[in-house]
Amino acid sequence: MRLLIMFDLPVETSKQRKAYRHFRKDLINQGFTMIQYSVYVRVCVNRKSAEFIEKKVSNFLPEAGVIQSLMLTEKQYNDMHFLLGKEKEDVRNYSGRTVIL
């Protein structure tokens, strides 16, 4: 299961930029990894835990902007086509239960 978070945040005033930095940092603290600018993804064991993390994210939202979330199954996520560029090679973007480093 994947939880995708996409956002567009205003960065005009320094207060807004601060809110943006905090939000991004909090996402990383929750185990999200950046797959593109403003698109973050996290592997979750099942739908329940994805819903749980979504709830946690909704607890640290900035005041203004647009933030969308999307839950995808592993199958749907893996069916994504790369029209240009390559997949991020990061453990956080890998859903196997055994990781060898």
Partner 1 sequence: MGWRSVIISQHAKLSYASHLMVVQTRDGINQVPIEDVQLLLVSTTQAVITTALLSELAKQNAKVVFVDRNMQPNCELVNNYPNNRSVDLLIDQFNWSQKRKELLWTKIVHEKIKNQIQVLQIYKHETEELSGELEKLEVNDLTNREAVVARKYFPLLFEQEKFSRRSGSAVNAALNYGYSILLSMFDREIVERGYLTYLGIHHRNNENQFNLGSDLMEPFRPVVDYWVANQDFTELTPDVKYGLIDALNIEITYCEHHMLLRNAISKYVGDCLKYLSGQSKELELKMELNHEVPNNALINHV
What lies within 8 Å, CB to CB, of 34 at 6+ separation is: 40, 88
Cα 27 to Cα 22: distance, rounded to the nearest angstrom? 9
Q: Which of residues 45-84 bind partner 1 (CB under 8 A)?
A: 45-46, 73-75, 78
Find the shortest distance in angstroms from Cβ 37 to partner 1.
Answer: 18
By CB under 8 A, residue 25 contacts partner 1: yes
The distance in angstroms from the start CA to the end CA of the chain is 22
By CB under 8 A, residue 101 contacts partner 1: yes
Helix (H) or strand (E) holding 35: strand 33-36
By CB under 8 A, residue 28 contacts partner 1: yes
Residues forming contacts to partner 1 in the complex (CB under 8 A) are: 1, 25, 28-31, 33, 42-46, 73-75, 78, 90-92, 95-101
